Amino acid sequence: MEPNVEIRRLLDVMPASGRMTTKIVSKPQQSKVIQADFPLPWNRERPIYINFDLWRRLTKPQRDLLLLQMVSWLTGVKWFKPDIYQGVVLVGLLGGLLESTQSDVVGIAVAGGLSAIALTRIWRTNKSQESELNADAAAIRIGQRRGYSEVQAAEHLLSAIEAVAKIEGRSGLNFTELIRCQNLRAIAGLSPVGMPESFE
């Protein structure tokens, strides 16, 4: 498989929003098939690293859905969207600045602690199982615009997750992958058991 040819093909599969923010990088030395670092707020570009020697062992539909899931996860990480936690971070930072001008050590500590708690909550939300499930659902929706049915897209993503674990030489799936696979089986009609409400 020629990496540059496959990268061009994958760019065509990506949604426009993904092409603007993510970049596909060949990384033959990595042990994972596909990987992306958690995007921090100051990183404008969000690279996706692919080991093309391992990548070629997947079928084309598996590669498509795996890439769409990764792009959906990366573009789904929002650090600056208006919600309660971003508001708390802002209030904490402003409070810390105000208290520092008054040399109030306790006030600075409280404001800093408040900001740290809110930032931790934002971080955990973006790295949660729910964010992975949302990325799976988004990948399936985009896959439908690329010619796959909902059931086909779910089946291809499910088989890709299982195939990647084997290619990487892992003994099994991790907890998050097991939850994702159960959800994908339900979407594909392979299992009557869906996700518990606490995960939705």
CB count in 10 Å sphere of residue 20: 10
Q: Who wins on pLDDT, 85 or 43?
A: 43
- The Cα–Cα gap between 12 and 19 comes to 9
- The Cα–Cα gap between 24 and 127 comes to 21
Q: Helix and strand tally (H, E) in the chain?
A: 9, 3
Q: Who wins on pLDDT, 77 or 170?
A: 170
E runs forming strands in 34-135: 34-35, 46-50
Whats the size of the chain, residue-wise? Answer: 200
For β-strands 22-26 and 46-50, DSSP reports them as parallel
Global model pTM greater than 0.75: yes
- Judge whether residue 59 has pLDDT over 60: yes
- Judge whether residue 98 has pLDDT over 80: no
b/e per residue 62-85 (b: at least 16 CB within 10 A): bbbbbbbbbbbbbbebeeeeeeeb
pLDDT of residue 200: 45
pLDDT of residue 77: 77
CB count in 10 Å sphere of residue 193: 9
Asked if 69 and 139 touch (Cβ cutoff 8 Å), the reply is yes
